[in-house]
Structure 1
Amino acid sequence: MKVNLAVVGATGLVGGMMLQVLSEENFPIDKLYLFGSKNSHGEKINYCGKEYEVGELKEDSFDGRDIKIALFAAGGAVSEKYAPIAAKAGVTVIDNSSCFRMDKDVPLVVPEINAEDIKKNKGIIANPNCSTIQSVLPLKPIHDKYKIKRVIYSTYQSVSGSGLNGISDLEKGTQLAYKYPINNNCIPQIDVFLDNGYTKEEMKMIDETKKILHDDSILVTATTVRVPVKSSHCVSINIETERAFEVEDVKKIISEYPGMVLEDDLAEEKYPMPITSTGKNEVFVGRVRRDFTVENGLNLWCCADNIRKGAATNAVQIAKKVLEV
């Protein structure tokens, strides 16, 4: 069954990738509607060989069009105003912003982990933070089998996480996205600082991890860092579990879990890197090893394309699940 679908923020980095992934997945679209800002109105976008004109997003954009699903990729302010309007018009909104993620009435979904939460939606489903998505995937099978007590995240996040301005800062030396030069530099600040000394990005990872895994008892801390890499985020994850494990068993459950690829061959010096994960939809996991400083400690490293699995791919996977509900 084909459905009417809208992409809000269609001219942006994530919106464009959403369209690409929809095309790759042969998503069953009847009528496609593209929306953007007033400045984007009238732009032409090619989708599957057909040219579409971007319309200005307005309060009546969803009226009378029988839109089943709307993918939002236009930022928190747009989502805050227009996602409820779309939901009221009968649209199922899949929102890429952080606006609704911690709302108790809004499912926060990584389809490989908690697709069943989609059934609880009241018109809006939240797409998690990019770094959270790739981190909770390896955590899920470990938590199911060994019960995670504590997680320490250290992220190495690419500039594409800041959109086109971030890429411009890296490639052209502009300072549109960051206060400091990003070239030959690492910036230990992503988003604004909060009163507790953490950044909003760090608190997103902490809070979202617990919500997606349905376990508020897990102790989570994070340090998020912007690095001079164009695409794909990397995360070093330190884990402490309640139950004992064997490292080879951990590798096995990661390799068998959907959405992940184990790249862990020390003899061949094979491990996940941005240059090999970019353009892929999977999360790549490696450097799986015991942390000998605690009784049941584990270290691992994961990489994923933050515009794909960290945003667009995950959103399209949610949309496919919506059609199944």
Structure 2
Amino acid sequence: MSSTSSFHPLPSRPLTVAVLGATGAVGQELLALLTERRFPVGELRLLASPRSAGRRLVWQGRELTIEAVSAAAFEGVDVVLASAGGSISRRWAPVAAAAGAVVIDNSSAFRLDPEVPLVVPEVNPESALGHRGIIANPNCTTILLTLALAPLQARRPIRRVVVSTYQSASGAGARAMEELRKLSRTVLDGGEPVSEVLPHSLAFNLFLHNSPLQPSGYCEEELKMLYETRKIMALPELRLSATCVRVPVLRAHSEAVNIEFEQPFPVEEARTLLAEAPGVELLEDFAANRFPMPTDVTGRDPVAVGRIRQDLSDPNALELWLCGDQIRKGAALNAVQIAELLLDPAWREAAAQPVGAPSASTVGGAV
């Protein structure tokens, strides 16, 4: 992984934290995680679009008023956790950084910028330490994938990855989740589902990912997995092909992954490495044909990996299956973990001890 020559820690005091996009599903999860992980918040500012300004949210028993995002809103802010979309981030992240804040951005706006670290804390934590004011949070499917690839790559070099994703409605936001519920009821009642949030109904249906198609024939989501994985793992020549599919699951994404190595990789060795890898849990019972499901990880931190097996078509390849909560580790949790990397050691030690507060697994209509 890449190295850095400087470390820019956050101040050793309770921090002023702004959540940009506070009303969305990821924003709501961010608020829950700040409490759950004991992040040292002194003041919390909730920022959103002007249409949401004036709304009130309760956090830690206090009623807070949502502010419209503006340059003045970033004055005195130490950390911005942004989850409001690429256009909003491109406009406001540089403003916040210029005001002295560290911006951890959940959009795609800065992910491939060579001056901006793209970080999964369990994979390339050192990349965050030399930031210049903005740190990018990777795409949800990329985060889940790299957690499984990194411990294996550290043991034997990877030559090629082929991945198919099964992405839940949560990846398109709270409105898509609610639409899936509504249209499923419509179908069960004998009606014709008409989608307004997604291009097609997900009710008892699936479709190839709806991000824009590129000249290569791959969609934008699939290319994110390629280029972001290369950057995070410092493997600029990694061969990776992805097919991304939207499926009728409310929350948590799944991935079928084929990994080709430079040499054979014993299955039991891979299983041991993944069982011990940070952020990963091994969940497999071959006798019972029981492997990770979205319901196993909804509202939880670990990425569940299982059905690790030898690829019968290639002696150097393994197959595996994984599931991870898109809103949590695929977005909000990863962002908070990045912020934790920037705490000085004393603050970091305290923040790393969860208090056992309930997860926001029902936020944004999730179940």
Q: TM-score, normalised by structure 1?
A: 0.97
Tell me how far apart the structure 1 counterparts of residues 166 and 107 of structure 2 sit (CA, whole Å).
20
Identify the match of residue 186 of structure 1 among 206, 213, 225: 206
Task: Please say if 1:50 is aligned against 2:62.
Answer: yes
Q: CA RMSD in A?
A: 1.0
Q: Kindly state the Cα deviation for residue 178 of structure 1 after the two structures are TM-superposed.
A: 1.7
Identify the match of residue 168 of structure 1 among 178, 181, 199: 178
**Alignment check: 8 A CA contact 1:190 1:224 kept:** no
**Alignment check: 8 A CA contact 1:158 1:227 kept:** yes
**1:35-89 CA distance string (max 9 Å, x none):** 00111101111111111110000122212xx211100010001000000000000
Structure 2 partner of 1:136? 146
Partner amino acid, structure 1, of 2:249 = V
Tell me how far apart the structure 2 counterparts of residues 129 and 213 of structure 1 sit (CA, whole Å).
14
Q: Kindly state the Cα deviation for residue 258 of structure 1 after the two structures are TM-superposed.
A: 0.6
Structure 2 partner of 1:104? 114
Q: Kindly state the Cα deviation for residue 269 of structure 1 after the two structures are TM-superposed.
A: 2.8
Identify the match of residue 211 of structure 1 among 231, 246, 254: 231
Q: Kindly state the Cα deviation for residue 267 of structure 1 after the two structures are TM-superposed.
A: 1.4
**Alignment check: 8 A CA contact 1:100 1:126 kept:** yes
Tell me how far apart the structure 1 counterparts of residues 107 and 178 of structure 2 sit (CA, whole Å).
22
Task: Please say if 1:39 is aligned against 2:51.
Answer: yes
Structure 1 partner of 2:86? 76
Structure 1 partner of 2:277? 257
Structure 2 partner of 1:60? 72
Task: Specify the SS of the correspondent of 1:216.
Answer: coil
Structure 1 partner of 2:19? 7
Tell me how far apart the structure 1 counterparts of residues 284 and 236 of structure 2 sit (CA, whole Å).
31
Structure 2 partner of 1:156? 166
Tell me how far apart the structure 2 counterparts of residues 187 and 25 of structure 1 sit (CA, whole Å).
36
**Alignment check: 8 A CA contact 1:159 1:166 kept:** yes
Tell me how far apart the structure 1 counterparts of residues 235 and 317 of structure 2 sit (CA, whole Å).
19
Structure 2 partner of 1:225? 245
Tell me how far apart the structure 2 counterparts of residues 133 and 151 of structure 1 sit (CA, whole Å).
15
**Alignment check: 8 A CA contact 2:142 2:228 kept:** yes
Tell me how far apart the structure 1 counterparts of residues 117 and 286 of structure 2 sit (CA, whole Å).
39
Q: Kindly state the Cα deviation for residue 264 of structure 1 after the two structures are TM-superposed.
A: 1.5
Unaligned runs of 5+ in 1: none
**Alignment check: 8 A CA contact 1:5 1:69 kept:** yes
Structure 1 partner of 2:31? 19
Q: Kindly state the Cα deviation for residue 222 of structure 1 after the two structures are TM-superposed.
A: 0.3
Identify the match of residue 94 of structure 1 among 104, 108, 120: 104
Task: Specify the SS of the correspondent of 1:4.
Answer: strand
**Alignment check: 8 A CA contact 1:5 1:33 kept:** yes
Task: Specify the SS of the correspondent of 1:292.
Answer: coil
Partner amino acid, structure 1, of 2:85 = G
Question: Which consecutive aligned stretches of 4+ in structure 1 deviate over 6 angstroms post-superposition?
Answer: none
Partner amino acid, structure 2, of 1:233 = H
Q: Kindly state the Cα deviation for residue 184 of structure 1 after the two structures are TM-superposed.
A: 1.1
Q: Kindly state the Cα deviation for residue 270 of structure 1 after the two structures are TM-superposed.
A: 2.6
Task: Specify the SS of the correspondent of 2:208.
Answer: coil
Tell me how far apart the structure 2 counterparts of residues 310 and 190 of structure 1 sit (CA, whole Å).
19
Unaligned runs of 5+ in 2: 1-12, 184-193, 346-367
**Alignment check: 8 A CA contact 1:149 1:217 kept:** no
Structure 1 partner of 2:314? 294
**1:202-232 CA distance string (max 9 Å, x none):** 0000100100000112100100000000000
Moved more, 17-26 or 221-230: 17-26
Tell me how far apart the structure 2 counterparts of residues 175 and 110 of structure 1 sit (CA, whole Å).
34
Q: Kindly state the Cα deviation for residue 119 of structure 1 after the two structures are TM-superposed.
A: 1.4
Q: TM-score, normalised by structure 2?
A: 0.86
Tell me how far apart the structure 1 counterparts of residues 130 and 256 of structure 2 sit (CA, whole Å).
32
Structure 1 partner of 2:355? none
Sequence identity of aligned pairs in percent? 43
**1:245-287 CA distance string (max 9 Å, x none):** 2101100000001110000121133311001110101100001
Q: Kindly state the Cα deviation for residue 17 of structure 1 after the two structures are TM-superposed.
A: 0.5
Task: Please say if 1:124 is aligned against 2:134.
Answer: yes
**1:161-183 CA distance string (max 9 Å, x none):** 00022113211125122221111
**Alignment check: 8 A CA contact 2:199 2:210 kept:** no
**1:146-205 CA distance string (max 9 Å, x none):** 100000010000001000221132111251222211111111123111111111000000
Structure 1 partner of 2:294? 274
Partner amino acid, structure 2, of 1:51 = E
Partner amino acid, structure 1, of 2:31 = L
